[in-house]
Amino acid sequence: MIFKLKPMVAAISFTLCSYSMLVAAEPEHGKPENEEAAVGVENAATWYRAGQEALKEAKHLHANERRAKNVILFLGDGMGISTVTASRIMQGQMQGRDGEKNSLTFEKLPYVALSKTYSTNQQTSDSAPTMTAIVTGVKTNDGELGVDQAVARDEKDNAVIQAHKLTTILELAKARGMATGVVTTARVTHATPAALYAHTAERDWEADSNLPAGATVKDIAAQSVDSFAANKGMDVLMGGGRTYFMPNTKFDPEYPTVKGRRKDGRDLTAEWQTKFNGKYVWNKAQFDAIDPANTKSLLALFEPSHVQYEADRVARDGAGEPSIAEMTDKAIDILKKNQKGFFLMVEGGRIDHAHHAGNAYRALTDTIAMDDAVKKAMEKTDLEDTLIIVTADHSHVFTIAGYPKRANPILGTVVNPGQTTPALAADGMPYTTVSYANGTGYHFLPVGGDTSYSEPIQAGRVVNLATVDTEDQGFHQEALVPLSSETHAGEDVGVFAGGPKAHLLHGVREQNYIFHVMKDALGL
């Protein structure tokens, strides 16, 4: 008697038999000899096995229902999904490995969600309302920090601000007696870090010299000191923005022609040391000399404005400044001395700035630098008692497109599978894998980053990229719509989490939901 398998059964049998043969045939150690050596040996067996291993790992996941002792919130400013993907590929390629298969450290966290980033008055928002939503649990208007949406932007009356003031996760943690800290590569008075401690209707009121006439609300820098006087202040505040803390009668210690921005005569760096029994540093040598064991609180301001991009940090800063990973390392060592636990926010702030300038190289290298900080935090803490969340406030109009072959340089021009020369667009010129929907457009500058703002806008296809090294750090990608600065984008951003109550971060959520998970995890 002859039996015929039903089509589906036959297909399954063939798949399993094929898989068994492929596994048997696959060499244990193979050295790829093709031009895409970084990819390694792949066949049906390797993909099938990888899927089975991932499934096995997923089945061992269990919800951690413990109360968190610590919470570390990482915020990649402007770190949209396309930025994460491109950074993952670039990191792998920089290390001579398979970029596509590579994973950033935070991508290995077990729980992932999506966050809706609109504000109460804009589809595509800025960092002030998005970070306010993340750290207070309430959405608000663009440009506003720590107040609800009933407040008009530029409201000068402090009585109105206080009436609509929102309490942040950092303020709740501080009130409990926990240690608190903020680390950023932007100014510490910039929108994202300021959202943790400041309450104002205008994110740009960073120093008193920025306040309009008649304003009774305090500037953001002053709030970093005055708002915490009763319970002895934040334990760590690190980043840039030194001149916002200095009187305009003093010169900057690193740049002798630069003066402070404060008109009120206050030296907030001195006040920090007096009020909080703290220490103040402004360069790498001073930072390295800080002993966490005998440091109660630390104010570290490494630049008059934002700190250097990671790509420029060593080469362009004579006084030196630590990496975001080094700042995170030191911050945790100071904060963990508190037996009641700690809350720490770490921002990769210059990811956003590089995107605005149309310089993908610095946006991606700063993302990788922040990932190094996540790795350091995971090494120094235990996910059994520490909730780690990595997310973004918003995205950017940064895209990955074309049909480049596997292992093609992520910053390179598109080379199609099976080809060795760049693919040509309809205008007869090559094009890059990554580009921007708007912005200043193509530039090739000896010093990258924000220097593009001093150049004329060059949107569109203004040069034949066949003669341009698109992987160079000075290359600024092409843009479609001519604008003086590339803009944010409105799509959802990722939320990556591990630790106590991390399983509550799942699905597509409103951005303010993140606060409620952190609050619940800490039992506040």
Count CA atoms within 13 Å of residue 222 on its CB side.
18
Long-range interactions of 28-37: CB distance < 8 A, separation 24+: 35/420, 36/405, 36/406, 36/407
Joined together, the tokens standing for residue 132 give 């306010």
Count CA atoms within 13 Å of residue 144 on its CB side.
27
H or E element at residue 28 = none
Number of H helices, E strands in the chain: 14, 17
From CA 486, how far away is CA 439, in angstroms rounded? 4
From CA 27, how far away is CA 347, in angstroms rounded? 44
From CA 14, how far away is CA 345, in angstroms rounded? 52
Give residues with Cβ within 8 angstroms of 378, minimum separation 6.
Answer: 105, 388
Q: Which amino acid is at 220?
A: I
Contact 375, 105 (CB under 8 A): yes
From CA 5, how far away is CA 13, in angstroms rounded? 9
Alpha-helix residue ranges (DSSP H) falling in 314-412: 324-335, 350-356, 360-380
Instruction: Write phi, then psi, for 88 (nearest 5 degrees).
Output: -60, -50
Residues with catalytic roles: 127
At residue 61's C-alpha, the angle toward residues 55 and 67, to 5°, is: 165
Burial 9-47 (b: 16+ CB within 10 A, else e): eeeeeeeeeebeebeeeeeeeeeeeeeeebbeeeeebee
Joined together, the tokens standing for residue 90 give 């670039």
Distances (CA, A) of 22 to 46, 48, 55, 420: 9, 10, 20, 30
Instruction: Write phi, then psi, for 165 (nearest 5 degrees).
Output: -70, 140
Joined together, the tokens standing for residue 259 give 């003066």
> In terms of C-beta density within 10 A (0-12 exposed, 13-18 middle, 19 or more buried), how is residue 237 classed?
buried
From CA 217, how far away is CA 202, in angstroms rounded? 10
Contact 296, 276 (CB under 8 A): yes
Burial 437-461 (b: 16+ CB within 10 A, else e): ebbbbbbebeebbbebeeeebbbeb
